[in-house]
């Protein structure tokens, strides 16, 4: 009798994904992967990935000047996740997604951001979660999942107006690694942003985790990232303990049943739901919502939904 290595039906979603074509079914595959198979892992991988943006001095200085992380940190955190949700929950080419990307483009239009900086930040949003899942997830990502995530990422970038984007995951990984090799450098703004981001993470973390958020976050940084952000080195035993804990969690999850409902971010900033017109820096909202009627507060109010997988 063989040893049981996973729970019953644990790989049902993967079996479903393997019947789909990432060239045409990318929205469905990405939805299953990020909202059913690895929702927590995607959130963590994305969070660490966003810290990489601070390692590029021009990006760090701009973000630092806005003071959004310092003064409106939790709203900034919620809005970032909600724009991502609005852009993907009904498909990257849906009218809801297009409205969200238009909103994002108008916000970005207030700043002087180069195309190469946009492309690098976009690369972090796919490379970060993929690397995290493959290191700490309960299984490795299937090539179909990686291909579908790449399709969604490239389509998102094109809706932002970006050109000459990679069309493969390896291309995004090379873009990220090459950009960091050329541009990574310490700047005092990076340390301020990192500390502000850690305070945001502590605010939204479950109560038992709050005291450990800073040390755990730093322990999860690779060495080049930790150095460029100006964070203190953590003891080797602590880094190993954090990594071991995550791998034990992954092993345990193999025996859990698959999720029956899709994960959706629950923003503490908007406990009663939100409109697209709520998203963005507080200082811009009046201007954004006055000039553009599609994001006024007459649009659909969104609340956390529970889709049941069939």
Name the phi and psi angles at 221, rounded to 5: -80, 140
Mean pLDDT confidence for 267-281: 95
Structural domain boundaries in the chain: 18-295
The predicted-structure confidence for 108-161, as pLDDT tens digits, reads as follows 999 999 999 999 999 999 999 999 999 999 999 999 999 999 999 999 999 999
- CA nearest to 221, candidates 203, 205, 238: 238
- CA nearest to 44, candidates 230, 277, 242, 231: 242
Q: How confident is the model at residue 5 (pLDDT cuts 50, 70, 90)?
A: confident
Between the alpha carbon of residue 73 and those of residues 41, 52, 77, 195, the distances in Å are: 22, 17, 6, 11
Mean pLDDT (the chain, rounded): 93
Mean pLDDT confidence for 22-30: 98
């Amino acid at each position: 009798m063989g040893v049981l290595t996973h729970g019953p039906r644990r790989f049902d979603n993967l079996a479903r994904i393997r019947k789909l074509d990432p060239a045409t079914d990318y929205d469905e595959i990405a939805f299953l992967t990020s909202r059913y198979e690895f929702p927590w892992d995607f959130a963590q991988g994305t969070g660490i990935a966003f810290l990489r943006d601070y390692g590029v001095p021009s990006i760090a200085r701009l973000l630092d000047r806005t003071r959004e992380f310092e003064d409106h940190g939790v709203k900034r955190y919620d809005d970032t996740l909600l724009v991502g949700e609005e852009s993907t929950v009904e498909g990257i080419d849906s009218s809801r997604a297009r409205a969200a990307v238009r909103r994002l483009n108008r916000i970005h239009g207030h700043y002087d951001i180069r195309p190469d900086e946009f492309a690098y930040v976009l690369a972090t949003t796919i490379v970060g979660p993929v690397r995290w899942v493959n290191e700490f997830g309960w299984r490795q990502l299937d090539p179909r999942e990686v291909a579908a995530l790449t399709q969604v990422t490239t389509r998102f970038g094109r809706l932002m107006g970006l050109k000459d984007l990679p069309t493969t995951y390896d291309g995004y990984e090379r873009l990220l690694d090459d950009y960091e090799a050329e541009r990574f450098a310490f700047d005092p703004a990076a340390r301020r942003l990192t500390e502000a981001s850690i305070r945001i993470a502590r605010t939204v973390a479950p109560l038992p985790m709050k005291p450990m958020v800073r040390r755990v976050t730093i322990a999860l940084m690779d060495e080049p990232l930790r150095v460029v952000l100006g964070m203190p080195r953590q003891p080797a035993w602590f880094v190993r303990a954090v990594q071991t804990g995550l791998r034990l969690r992954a092993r345990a999850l193999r025996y859990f049943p698959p999720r029956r409902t899709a994960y959706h971010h629950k923003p503490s900033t908007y406990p009663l739901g939100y409109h697209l017109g709520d998203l963005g820096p507080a200082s811009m909202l009046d201007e954004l919502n006055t000039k553009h009627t599609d994001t006024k507060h007459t649009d659909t109010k969104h609340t956390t939904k529970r889709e049941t997988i069939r």
